[in-house]
Every structure is written in structure tokens, then in C-alpha cells.
Structure 1
Amino acid sequence: MTESDRKNPKKKSLFPLVLVLLAIGAVTYAIWRTETSPRTDDAYAFADTVSIVPEVSGRIIEMKVRDNQLVKPGDVLFQIDPRPFEAALNVSKNQLLVLDKQIELTQRSVNAQALNARSVNANVEAARANAQQAADSLKRIEPLLGQGFASAEEVDRARTAQKASQAQLQAALLQGQTAVAGIQGVDAIIAQKSVIEAQMEAESLRLEYATVTAPFMGRVTSLDTKVGQYVSPAKAVFTLIDAEEWYVMANFREGDLKDVRPGTRATVYLLSDTKRTYEAEVDSIAWGVNPSEGNSLLGGLPRVSKSINWVHVSQRFPVKVKVLEPDPELFRLGASATVILHKNSAR
């Protein structure tokens, strides 16, 4: 024992107490830190992906991209042989030209038939008037035959005139129906034109689909197709990873999710460069997971495991965190990450 310790024995007795207080403070701070800023390294980078599937079938004649290349919206990815679609479009264009000429000639005929129809309508009205006059004359003369004021010959002439005028009326009506049918004949040809125009629009669209472009800025991945490969809408050519919006899927214990909601601020680290941090915010929280143990239904009855877990392990729920300013050179789909949530803090 030193001379100072003999003079001040309380100094030695306080040292263990200070160590205990420091340990309690450290534990308290760790618990507080865990409660307010839960952390997990069970996380990975995630981005939306799109399978690039052609809208039309054909043979690839030009591949504009390579695997893992970064492409911008509108960049040509690959070109399908457009010749079959161009040929079909040219056939429809020629059919449309022929139909236009046919419509022009038919329209001239229809115009003439329309004039004829107006003339025939006038004849119909005249024939109808003659028929009505002949019928009226017959009605007046027939009663006079019994009274001796009209001869049988006059009655016969009136009957003959009435029948003749009726026949003329029927003939005029048939001519009118024929003229109307001629006018309506061009409508069917115009309807055919509408069908061909719709067919041309569809063929133009197929020709446009022969050139496949990027829908957004992304990374090409899983490209194992070359020029000469026959492709169809039934199979994807490769996958495009969205390079503009990145997320981190982090699995947090259920006890850490209290007071965590969409918009809660977060900090993200990537294992590839732990010195850099990225600001982020909670996008959404999963509402369910498939438990690996516990009760399940078997034949409509609950099945309970016979084993007892003495140590209860908390369930983990995926939390989708949106990275605000991701580095496109570091973020890769599935990259390991660490996420820290800042409870009661939102952007």
C-alpha cells in the first residue's frame, strides 16, 4: 500500500463503485440506443426489375447492348428483322390504294344513281297520283252503271285504267328500290376501307415493336442471347434493373418496429464501402411473413409442435427503405447492407 493510499483510504474504495456506475451507464446507453435507433445487418439492396420481352416474334438482326451495360430511356436494345412487317404493311397500303380507286369510281356511279333516284321518286309520285285518280274514277263510275247513267264499256275502261296505273306504280316503286340499293352500295366499300386502315395501324405498330427500346434508365443483366436468335413474346430476352430508384430490404425484429412508420428516417451502409453512408426513409413495412414454426392447419385441425423452445426468438419483418441519393456505381441488386432506423424522426 502506498503512502497516498494510507492517507486517503476512500479513494481505493470509490474506484470499484465508479467502474460499476460506468458499466451501468454504458449498458443504459446501449439499451437507449437500441430502443431509439434499432440496427440490423440482415439487409440487402433491392431495385425494381423488368423482363424485356418483345411484343412480336422474329429473328434478332442487331444487338445494341451487352451484359451489365447501363442504358438510358429510349436507347435501342435490339432490333428484330422488320422485313415481314414492312411487307405486310406494303400489301395493306396497296390494297388501300386499289380500294380508294374503287370508291372513286363507285362514287361516280352512285352520284348518277342518286340523280336517277330523284327522277324515279318523281315518277313514283306521278304514278301514285295516277293510280289514285284512276281508283277514284272507278269508284264514281261503278255506281252509275246500275242506274243507267254509265255504260259497261265506260266501266271497263275505268277498271283497265285503274289496273294499269297500279301496275305503273309498282314498277316505279321497284325502280326506286333499285336506285336506293345502288346508292347504299358504296357504304360496304367504305366499310372495307375502315377495316384495311385498322389493319395498317396494327401492322405499323408491329413494325414499331420490331425495334425494342429501354423503358427507363437501367442495367442490362442475364443477357445470353446473340444475333440470329429467334425471339417471341413467350420468353424474356434479358432483365433490366432500374438504376434510378434503389431500396434496401432490411429484416428487423418485431420489437424494433414500434413507432416505425413510412417516412421514418434511416441511415444505410453498404458492405462494399462501409465508410460511406446514405440517407434513406422507410417506404413500407411488411404486414406478414410465413412462420417456419408454430401452429399450422392439418386436415382442418391446428397442429402444435411437441417441442418447447426455452429461448423465444423474435420474429423478423421486412422493412422496405428507400435510398434518397444512391450511388449507381456501388448499389447492386442483392448487395449486403446495414440499416439504422431513427425513430421519431421523419423527413
Structure 2
Amino acid sequence: MNARATEPTVAEKAAEPKLRPVPTAAATVAPAPEPAVEEAAPRKRGGRRIILMAGLPLLLVAGGGWFWLTGGRYEETDNAYVQQAKVSISADVSGRVSEVLVNDNQIVKAGDTLFTIDPQPFQIALSQANAALASARVNVEQLKVAYGTAQATLKSSQGQLEIEQAAFDRKESLVTQGVTADASLDDSKLTLQKAQSAVDLAKQQVAAATAALAGDPNIVTDEHPAVLAALAAVEQAQRNLTKTTVAAPASGIISNVSSLNVGQFIAAGSMIASLVETDNTWIQANFKETQLAELKVGQPVEVKVDAFGEAMDGTLESFGAATGSEFALIPAQNATGNWVKVVQRLPVRIALSQASESMLKTGMSATVTVDTGRSTLDKLQGK
């Protein structure tokens, strides 16, 4: 028989017996009550939220309080700069430059020659001063001779006066005895008066000679005022000649000499170049006035220069005499109607204690941190 190829009808499908599914072992296990699990999970998550919401702010407050209590020990400012002494180089005498021995940014030592001025005019001046000194010494010797002459004249006049006095006395005695006439006494009296006048004049000459010798006839020649003045003129001329060679007053770096040329005339006292003394370096830190309460001389300091990453040690050396605004060319006038309070800054000098300060250049920016040794907790406890 041929197999049935046509699909069964709807009636035939309904007449077919339906197979019931066989229950498995997994299907026979009763599922856990889902409503109970759904109620327990929300309670657990809600408790964690409450703990987190309450604990996290408390933890932040506790941490912030701890940092606040343990902080406040260090005072820091980035308004700090490297400082080195700067010297303006100028000539003490006027003249023309004859030689320049340095260049810009050259390292020099104290006493090194920077440039020279034509010395010939000053050599001539020195010769003239020496000649004036010799002349002054000769004049003093002549004054001593004049004093001796005045003394001899006085002695001679006094001897003549004694003779005339004796002659007058004899004639006066004869007149008194009536031996001679009174008219013969007049000539002797006139001669005696002339002798007295000669003595007085000689005394005045001696006094003048003594005064010319500064009141001391035995004065040393080089101690006479005229000679001392001549010696001072020689010293001045010698100094001017020496100052034609301009030397470095200290060790450092010379700059701004590019405009100095041979043959240029320079006036005494005019600024020619600048010398930065690299042997003396310090930090000037400008702290706010609200930071000064705990700062004291001798406290350790950490310095970080922006140009170098390595920190350097230092010591708080001194405080400025006044705030920076007090040294301004035009100080602020606070007694006005539109006054606004501005926190002032006081310059504090920091001494460096490391050899690396030779790498620093004046004007570099730095950050300064001072260890006051007292935290906020120590301040509250009065330590």
C-alpha cells in the first residue's frame, strides 16, 4: 500500500490522542518563594545607602579636621626672588679711556683691572705738586732764617739801648749836680728814645717770624702748615694718578661695558658698567603680613628656584625695616575717602647655606617654605 501523502484533516487531528509531558526531576522541585527574596534585597541595599550617606561626610569632616589640626606648620610664598649685590662702576677722575680689558658677562676677581684712563695729565699734575712741596719746604727754612735774624736784631737793639741808657743816666746826674746845662740832656734823651724804639721794632719782627713758623720756632719743616698743604696736594695728585686704573671692587660678573670704547671721554662719577657680586647671594621673600606671626630669625627654610628643580636649604636671617609700599617712590595715601584695605608684604631675607648658590642669578623667581615648628594643634595647646 502506498503511504499517505496528504495532510490529515482538522477532524483527524482532533481525534488523535494528546501526549502528556513527562515531569522531570528538576520540574518536581518546588521553586523558592520569590516574594520573600524580593523583599530582603531592598532592605539590605537601603542600609548600605544610609551608612554611606552618613559615614562619608563624617569621614570627610574628620579628615579635614585632622589636616587642619596638623597643618599650619609651614608658611610658604612664591613672591620671592634671588638677590645679589650690584655695584655701579664709575671712574673717580675724568679723562679719556686708553684701554678696555674686559667684556660683557666676564667673570672678574677683586682687584682685576677693568679699564684705564690716559695718565699723562695726572702725571704732570703730580710733578707740579712735588715742585710745590719742595718750594714750601724752602719757604719754611727761609722763615727759620728770618726768625734768627729778628732775634739777632733784637739782641743788638737791646745792647744799644743799654748803652744809651747809661749815657743818659750820666748826663742826667751831671745836670742834677749843676755841672752841665739842661740843654745838653735833650740830645741824650732823644738818642735813648730812638734806641727804645729800635728794641720795640725788633721785638715785633721776632713776633712776626714766630707767627710765620706757626708759633713754634723749632717746628719740624714737614709739620709746618704750608708744607702739610703741599703734602696733601701731592697725595691728591698721586691718588688721581692711581685712579686712572679702574679695578673691580669685588669678585663677580661685569656687564654693560659694551658701550665703553677707547678714546671715549668719561666724567668723574658717571656710571660706566655694573658688577654683580656672585659671592654674596640671598633670597628676598615677600611674606604677607598675616603670615609673620610665627616667623622668627633662625628658622629653617626650603628654597626652590624656578630655574632648578633641586631644593636648597636656607635660614631666615632678618626681617625688613618696613613693608615694600613704604619704600615706594610715591607712597600710597591711605587717608582718602576711597581707601581699600590691601594686605601688605614685608621683605624677609633668607640666607642660603649650599654651594649651589653660585648657579643662581639675581632676579630669578623662587618659592620659599619656612618651617615654623608649630602646627595648628600645637598653637591651640599653647606649645
8 Å contact kept, 2:260–2:272: no
What does residue 29 of structure 2 align with? none
Q: Is the 8 A contact 1:286 1:319 kept in 2?
A: no
Residue 376 of structure 2 corresponds to residue 341 of structure 1: no
Question: What pairs up with 1:54-93 in 2 under 5 angstroms?
Answer: 54-93=91-130
Cα shift readout 1:204-229 (whole Å, capped 9, x = no counterpart)? 11112111222222222333322223
Shift of 1:132: 3.2
Helix, strand or coil at the partner of 1:225? coil
Q: Corresponding residue for 1:40?
A: 77
Alignment match, 1:270: 305
Where 1:247 maps in the other structure, the secondary structure is strand
* Number of positions where the alignment pairs a residue of Structure 1 with one of Structure 2: 320
Matches within 5 A, 1:239-278: 239-278=274-313
TM-score computed with the length of structure 1 as normaliser? 0.75
1-structure distance, mates of 2:134, 2:49: 110
Q: What is the match of residue 133 of structure 2?
A: 96
**CA distance 1:21–1:197, shift in 2 (3 Å):** same
Tell me: CA distance 1:40–1:182, structure 2 relative to 1, closer, same or farther (3 Å): closer
Q: Which runs of 5+ in 2 are unaligned?
A: 1-40, 216-220, 375-383
Q: 1:339 to 1:18 in 2, by over 3 A?
A: farther
Does the Cα contact within 8 Å between 2:314 and 2:350 map onto a contact in 1? no
SS in 2 for 1:78: strand
1:147 aligns to what? none
In structure 2, relative to structure 1, the CA distance for the partners of 1:69 and 1:28 (3 Å cut) is farther
1:203 equivalent in alignment to 2:237: yes
The answer to whether residue 272 in structure 2 is matched with residue 237 in structure 1 is yes
Hey, what's the Cα distance between the residues in 1 that align with 2:333 and 2:96?
53
Aligned Cα RMSD in Å? 3.9
Is the Cα–Cα contact under 8 Å of residues 218 and 242 in structure 1 kept in the other structure? yes
Q: Is 2:56 aligned against 1:27?
A: no
Match of 2:334 among 287, 296, 301: 296
The answer to whether the aligner puts 1:133 opposite 2:170 as a matched pair is no
Q: What SS does the aligned partner of 1:200 have?
A: helix
Moved over 6 A (4+): 8-18, 182-189
Task: Tell whether the 8 Å contact from 2:103 to 2:258 is kept in structure 1 after alignment.
Answer: no
1:159 is aligned to 2:186: yes
Letter in 1 for 2:129: S
Distance 2:308 2:206 in 1: 87
Residue deviations 1:165-199 (CA, integer Å, cap 9, x gap): 33344345546655776787777996543332211
Q: For 1:102 and 1:84, how far apart are their aligned partners in 2?
A: 27
Other-structure match for 2:249: 215
Deviations, residues 56-92 of structure 1 (Å, cap 9, x unaligned): 1112222222222222222222212222111211222
Check the 8 A contact 2:84/2:278 in 1, yes or no: yes
Paired residue secondary structure (1:290):
helix
Q: Which has the larger radius of gyration?
A: 2
The 8 Å contact of residues 69 and 220 in structure 1, kept in 2 or not, is answered as yes
CA distance in 1, matches of 2:61, 2:298: 34
TM-score by length of 2: 0.68
Q: Quick one: distance in 2 between partners of 1:279 and 1:15?
A: 47
Structure 2 CA distance for aligned equivalents of residues 315 and 187 of structure 1: 63
- Unaligned runs of 5+ residues in structure 1 are 145-149
- Residue type of the alignment partner of 2:159: A
| Partner deviation per Cα, 1:11-69 (whole Å, 9 max, x = no partner) | 99777777656644653455356521021222211122121121111122222222222
Within the candidate set 170, 193, 215, 2:227 is matched to 193
